[in-house]
Structures are given as structure tokens and as C-alpha cells.
Amino acid sequence: MGLMADKQAWRAHVAAVHDLPRDYEVVYLEIQKYVFKVGPVALMVRRNCWRSYCSYFRMVRNGKLMF
């Protein structure tokens, strides 16, 4: 992926996060803040990491998973 494609993918992901219920969005953003602050760089580079968090919260919201 090029820089522009990465930027578009990130923006689409951020839009998906904003579509989550407010409580889930807050939790997601706190996890993101923690990982960006103290997490290893390799974890931040992995694209699927953030998408999987967002997908997990969407499945919980849709009743497919329970906390």
C-alpha cells in the first residue's frame, strides 16, 4: 500500500470507530492512547491490530459477543 492508500484506509477506520456506540468508542480510544504511549512500535505498525479492536466492539454491539 502506498501512503495515500494507507491514509484512506486509516480515515475509513477512524470513521468506523466513530460509528461505534459512545461507550465503546471511549474504550477504544483509551486503548489506542495507551498503546501509542507505551506499546511497542511493532504493534502500532500492524494495520490489523486497530481493525480487529473495532471489529470486536462492533460484534459486541451487534450481540454476537459478550464482554
Residues recorded for the chain: 67
**pLDDT tens digits, one per residue of 5-43:** 888 888 988 898 898 889 988 988 888 888 777 766 555
Q: Is residue 33 part of a domain?
A: yes
Judged on CB neighbours under 10 Å (0-12, 13-18, 19+), 40 is: exposed
More confident residue, 61 or 7: 7
Q: Is residue 30 part of a domain?
A: yes
Which residue range is the domain that position 14 belongs to? 3-61
For the whole model, what pTM was predicted?
A: 0.57
**pLDDT tens digits, one per residue of 43-60:** 555 556 666 777 777 777
Q: Is residue 24 part of a domain?
A: yes
Question: Looking at the 3D structure of the chain, how many domains does it have?
Answer: 1
Q: Is residue 67 part of a domain?
A: no
More confident residue, 51 or 3: 3
